[in-house]
Amino acid sequence: MQRLILSGLAVLAAALPFATQADTMDYSWAEFGYVETELDAGGFDVDGDGFALRGSVAFLENFFAFAGYEDIGFDGGVDLTQIQVGVGGHWPVNERMDIVGRLGIVNLEVEAGPFDEDEDGFLIGARLRGVVAPKFELEGGFDYVDVGDDDDTALVGEGRYFFTEMFAGGLLISIADDVTTLGLNLRVTF
């Protein structure tokens, strides 16, 4: 699956010179989505699903603040809540592609019956984001998350199609050593 993400990034890089200009690279948006997650670690294999809220607000010329919230229910009555808050920057490579960096804090809460654990940590991420066709953009890179005693690096890929200048639908895939997440979302750009 990691080869699939890397192949997608190679296609993004190859397609960018042929893409026509589309004004979709905004950094002020809100997104609501459905996510499915599979956790496979040390003989422990569970599936879960839930919803995610994400958003970003641009400030200055090349910076943005972001926030995210996920609420996922797993098999066996395990619930996971994750909150991310941070800042990022974007720097144009050309008129259709940006390099994006993010730095933030993460709060992760896991509840299973009487068990309730709450941990804090941080995230660092880097991505390429580009317009590959009119109204269509791809984004790919990595997110490193360190929470409590656990750390993991995920390869992340996103694609979104803009139905109008303001509304888009998208897909997300995130693949780490023990966790795979697939998402479907709707975005409002403002």
Give the phi and the psi of residue 13 in degrees, each rounded to 5: -65, -40
CATH of the domain at 143: 2.40.160.20
Domain range for residue 37? Answer: 2-41+51-189
Contact 76, 54 (CB under 8 A): no
**How do residues 5-38 score in pLDDT, each as one tens digit?**
444 444 444 444 443 334 568 999 999 999 999 9
Per-residue pLDDT band at 80 (split at 50, 70, 90): very high
Find the mean pLDDT for residues 53-78: 96
Q: Distance between CA 22 and CA 101 in Å, rounded?
A: 22
Q: Distance between CA 184 and CA 169 in Å, rounded?
A: 8
The pTM (predicted TM-score) of the whole model is 0.84
Domain count, the chain: 1
- 11 part of a folded domain: yes
Per-residue pLDDT band at 163 (split at 50, 70, 90): very high
Higher pLDDT, 39 or 167: 167
- 46 part of a folded domain: no
Spacing of C-alpha 4 from chain mean position: 17
- 90 part of a folded domain: yes
Residue 12: what pLDDT? 44
Residue 113: what pLDDT? 85
Higher pLDDT, 112 or 29: 29
